[in-house]
Structure 1
């Protein structure tokens, strides 16, 4: 029987690389994408679909999490809150979506149990966690413990974070090594046509490409 990995995939660079790394390790990919009423929902979904095609994914889930809109409290899900473009923010950024990764991991755990998958892959990067509490390695490991306590005795799930200690430039380099289709990925928090280039996510991405000495293949304003 094939070993399976449930890969949480946003359509972004980090989670796409994570899925490619799992495939390289011999896992059959069960791809999971969440529509949570984020500003770039349609673009992220189309990127996810395109990446799944490249990976020859046979089993995929696209889950509607529109309740995040009712929750609000984040610039990603509430159109009345501006996405910051100055790059200067102290504490938890306004783009943090309350407990998003915890909710995503809970859903991924349900899918992993159904699919008899031994691994959940998530593309968290500690470099992001200065602002996002749900990207910390210690947090993800505690979620792994909770998931295994709350599932069947024979269910034993490992949450893998292949990028957690990498810098964005290393993520770009690793993506190039594995022929990851970076032109199909999206990072911008604001736009769906051309990336803004000034939100935190675009800045991180562009700086990663710059330090890696290569040109980002997506279009910017």
Structure 2
């Protein structure tokens, strides 16, 4: 089934791109400029599309960030350091971001004749992001079937929705994902900071998966103390 992939350029979505390409299902990659603080990730998404030989669609929603204010990903707010599952990470929520992006991706898939839209939402996102949870993805697919009823039949493909980040590393490695050519860090510096929630989660995932992490971090050891602090706080 030809599949439109929503891709941020991060580890999860680029891994899914390679998995779909290996299966012969990837038809195009769609990325979004939604006014995020840095756009480095979009270069990685575009490079992924070029590497896998599929069309790349960059949708300009650059004015959206100003309207969906209050997030550290769109406003001039400090990106917190620490474990991804800490309450402090809620400041990285961009309200309805996935719902907005997926709606557009479904429209593109329907217009291009694709039978599915894929997104790399995963179990580690559930704590913070409501539009990454299984209840959302199931409801969203039902809504889109009604929205496209009689015009197109497009399914939502979320193979990682019950998986961990470590599971994604394992799947991505099996599909030959060049992990060094992905970008996760929310701070957008010259290299991954190693301290923000998504850097900590990324480093932890490689450790749990038993796979070498090729990422260059400004602070490569912070993840261990962040995980220890989270474990102590959860005890």
Question: Normalising TM by the smaller chain, what interval?
Answer: over 0.9
The whole-number CA distance in structure 1 between the counterparts of 2:187 and 2:20 is 29
Matches within 5 A, 1:85-96: 85-87=81-83, 89-90=86-87, 93-96=90-93
* Partner of residue 111, structure 1: 108
Over 3 Å counting, the alpha-carbon distance change for 1:132 and 1:28 in structure 2 is closer
1:61 counterpart = 2:57 = yes
Aligned pairs, number = 216
The answer (yes or no) to whether the contact 2:19–2:171 under 8 Å persists in 1 is no
Runs of 4+ in 1 over 6 A off after TM superposition: none
Give me the whole-angstrom Cα distance separating, in 2, the residues matched to 1:201 and 1:91. Answer: 13
Instruction: Tell me, in whole angstroms, the C-alpha distance in 2 between the residues paired with 1:208 and 1:196.
Output: 16
Give ranges in structure 1 of 5+ residues lacking alignment. none
Q: Does 1:17 align with 2:15?
A: yes
Q: TM-score, normalised by structure 1?
A: 0.92
- Comparing 101-110 and 19-28, the one that deviates more: 19-28
1:1-221 equivalence runs, <5 A: 3-41=1-39, 43-57=40-54, 59-71=55-67, 72-79=69-76, 81-87=77-83, 89-90=86-87, 93-221=90-218
Structure number with the higher helix fraction is 2
Instruction: Tell me: CA distance 1:150–1:49, structure 2 relative to 1, closer, same or farther (3 Å).
Output: same
In structure 2, the gaps of 5 or more residues are 219-235
8 Å Cα contact 1:85-1:199 kept in structure 2: yes
State how far apart, in whole Å, the 2-side matches of 1:189 and 1:91 are.
14
Q: What TM-score do you get using the length of structure 2 for normalisation? A: 0.87
Q: Is the 8 A contact 2:7 2:29 kept in 1?
A: yes
- The Cα RMSD (Å) is 1.6
